[in-house]
Amino acid sequence: MNIDFHVHGILSKKLKFDPELFLQGIEYAKENGLDGFILCEHFNAVDLKSAYSYLKDNYIYQGDRYIVNGFSIFIGMEVDIRYGGHVIVSGNRESILKIREELEPNIKKDNFIFFEKLLDLGEKYNCLMIGSHPYRENHKLYLQPEKLLKRLDALDLNTKDIYKRGLDIVEREVNELSKTLNIPYVTGSDSHYPVQLGTVKTCFKNECYTIKDLKENIKNKAYEIKISKCLKLKVYTSKITKNYIKRKKKEERELNKNN
């Protein structure tokens, strides 16, 4: 079972959820060898709840994932933490909504949740917790206390970082941190636009239907990692297209205001 652990279904956290683009992303993911992903919108995205309501209203939920045209979608959030860093928290749908409610006081930068408190929340609801792009500029998760980092289930080997800094550098950093903390690392495309899907895959030997399945297989390192040789081209194409669409949507909003 091939999984991407870091996918955004919304083009930008300031924009609305687009079901048509989302479904195109599913088909693109399938064509590029993925069997499932974690949908982890930014926890402070303006249309976060619409994405999850859409899934609930239209698709079967089995285990801890939605089945969308034969494709598995686990849900979660990417959460900003105090003093720098992002953490992906994934669990069953009830748990994720409860955690989002508890994060309501922590939406703005000045009030981001403390890392330890987020870990406590994730453990309370038996969530999978992944340290996103731990060495990214302005989001240096690796600077958080080691005793807290060790409570994560995994680290994120991230497509955007590979694109910007090179696979050798990024994987060496993540691998060294993984060894220091004694936790594995998995892959995340960090996609906001479908073209980026399939650039990285975590290929499990077993099928995973629940968060418990994911956690156990990650802990046992029952997987291998695959990186697309077309990664740079796909990320570049995704970036250009995403920026173009965002600019067009902004122009449309400004035009509507003036009419």
Which pLDDT tens digit goes with each residue over 131-151? 999 999 989 999 999 999 999
| Neighbour count for residue 137 (Cβ, 10 Å) | 9
Say what percent of the chain tops pLDDT 70: 100
Q: Is the dihedral of CA 101, 10, 196, 23 positive or negative?
A: positive
Weakest-pLDDT range from 13-27, 59-73, 83-97, 235-249: 235-249
Weakest-pLDDT range from 101-105, 227-231, 240-244: 240-244
* pLDDT of the residue at 251: 78
Element (H, E) at 188: strand 185-188
- Among the listed residues 40, 143, 45, 146, the one whose alpha carbon sits nearest the alpha carbon of residue 88: 40
Give per-residue burial for 6-36: e unless 16+ CB within 10 Å, then b. bbbbbbbbebebbeeebbebbebbbebebbb
Give per-residue burial for 240-258: e unless 16+ CB within 10 Å, then b. ebbeebeeeeeeeeeeeee
**Residue 259's pLDDT band (cuts 50, 70, 90):** low
- Among the listed residues 188, 250, 186, the one whose alpha carbon sits nearest the alpha carbon of residue 219: 186
The predicted-structure confidence for 161-177, as pLDDT tens digits, reads as follows: 999 999 999 999 999 99
Calpha distance 91→32 (Å, rounded): 25
Domains of the chain with bracketed CATH: 2-258 (3.20.20.140)
* pLDDT of the residue at 233: 96
Residue with tokens 């409570």, as numbered in its chain: 151
Weakest-pLDDT range from 9-13, 71-75, 152-156, 220-224: 9-13
